[in-house]
Amino acid sequence: MRDYTSEYNVWYASADLQASDRFHFLFDMNYTKSTGSFESIGVLQPVDGAPANADLDYSMINQYSDLDYQQIELTYGVNFRVGRASRLYGSITYLDLIDDQPYVYGDLDGSLTIVSTGMTVGF
């Protein structure tokens, strides 16, 4: 019998600042670290009648199914009021995933950047 443990840690923070009548700033952050692992099986005891070349060292096998990911997501945005009912907006979102155990599914490292801009009108 061996233990399997999965864990995740999530930190998040956001800020909303109405800096002036015209400028409004937004910030959002999210960081997740998640892992999964088996306890080591160790070296097994010989069994009567087992083949002479049997390898009873299972101490590393648990590492083949380890999972370890880190992901961060950052968003920074600004709104600028141009008129009584209209404003311009712009934001940048950055996501980054780091795969610290690429053995099982291949290396899944990747990052994404999204830059947005536009105008909002109220009526």
Partner 1 sequence: MKKRILLYGLAALGALALIGVAWADEGGTVVNGTSSVGAHLTTSTDVFGKVGEFYSDANLEKFQADAAFSLTGATDQSLFDLHGRYFDKDTKSFGFTADAAGPVKVRFDYQSFLHNLDHDNLENLQTSEATADGSIAGKKVFHHDLDPLGRYSLQYEKMTGGVEYDLASIREGKAYVTYTDQRRHGWKQTLAIDHCAFCHVEGNRREIDEQTRTWKAGIKGKLGRVAFGYEFQAQDYLDHADSPSRHWSYATHPGAGDNFAGAPDLRARLQFHDVTLPYQVGPNTEKRTHEFTAKVDVNARNTVRGAYSHARVENSNNNLSSDFDGFAFGWLARLGKSSRLTARVLRYAVDVDDAYVDLNPYRDGRGGGGQDFDWTRVSAANRDVWQADMVFRTKLAKRTHLNVDWRHKVVDRDAMNQTQTNYYPDPDTGTNIADPSHPIANESTTDRFRATFFQRFNRKGNMRLTYAYTHVDKPFMNLTGICEPSLRGEDHTLIGNPATWYFQRERVGNATSLPDEVHQVNWRSSYQVNPRLSLNAFVNAQWESNDSMNSYSLDRDIVTPGVNIWTAPNDRLMLTMGYAYNRVKSNAKFCPPLFGG
Q: Which two tokens stand for residue 115?
A: 């830059």
Query: How far is the C-alpha of 72 from the C-alpha of 95, rounded, in Å?
Result: 6
Q: Which residues bind partner 1 (CB under 8 A)?
A: 1-19, 38, 41, 49, 52-53, 64, 71, 89, 95-97, 99, 103-123
Min. distance of Cβ 45 from partner 1 in angstroms? 14
| 21 Rama sector, left if φ>0, alpha if ψ -120 to 50, beta otherwise | alpha
Min. distance of Cβ 70 from partner 1 in angstroms? 11
Residue 59 or 113 having the CB closest to partner 1: 113
Query: What distance lies between CA 120 and its chain's CA centroid?
Result: 32
Query: Residue 23 belongs to what H/E stretch?
Result: strand 23-38
What are the residues facing 77 on neighbouring strands? 26, 91
Residue 14 or 59 having the CB closest to partner 1: 14
Q: Which two tokens stand for residue 85?
A: 């009912």
Min. distance of Cβ 79 from partner 1 in angstroms? 11
Min. distance of Cβ 50 from partner 1 in angstroms? 10
